[in-house]
Amino acid sequence: MKPLKTAIFAIAATASLAACTTDEYGNQHASRGLKGAGIGAAGGALVGAVTGGDVLAGAAIGAAAGAVIGIVTDDHNRYEDRNGQRYYYENDGRRYHYDNRRQRYYDPR
C-alpha cells in the first residue's frame, strides 16, 4: 500500500507544477491537462466504487489517463481574446478568425 500512496503523491506533485497556464494578459486558468486529470480521477473513482475495486487505484489511473488526453488534445494555436473571439495563427504569423458561417477572415496588420 505504501508504494501506491507514494505514486499518488508523486502524480499530485507533478500535476500541481503544470496545473495552471497564464494567458497573454497575465490571467491564470486551469490547463486542459488539469481539467482532464480531475474528470479522469472522478470517473476512475466512480468505476472503482461501482465495480467493487480499489477506489484510490481507479482514481489514480483515471487521473493519469485524463491528464494525458487533456494535454494531447490541447490546441496550442488558438487563444481567446478578451471579447471572446477565437483567433488562430498561420505558420507565417498572420492572424485570422472565423465568422458564424465558418468563413476565414484575416486580420489586417
H or E segment to which residue 28 belongs: strand 28-30
- Rounded (to 5) percent helix, strand, coil in the chain: 50, 20, 30
Say if residue 107's pLDDT is above 70. yes
Task: For residue range 41-65, list pLDDT tens digits in order.
Answer: 889 988 988 998 888 888 889 998 9
* CA–CA gap between residue 6 and residue 88 (Å, rounded): 41
State the cell numbers at 82: 478578451
pTM for the model: 0.55
pLDDT of residue 89: 77
Task: For residue range 91-102, list pLDDT tens digits in order.
Answer: 677 888 888 888
* CA–CA gap between residue 23 and residue 19 (Å, rounded): 13
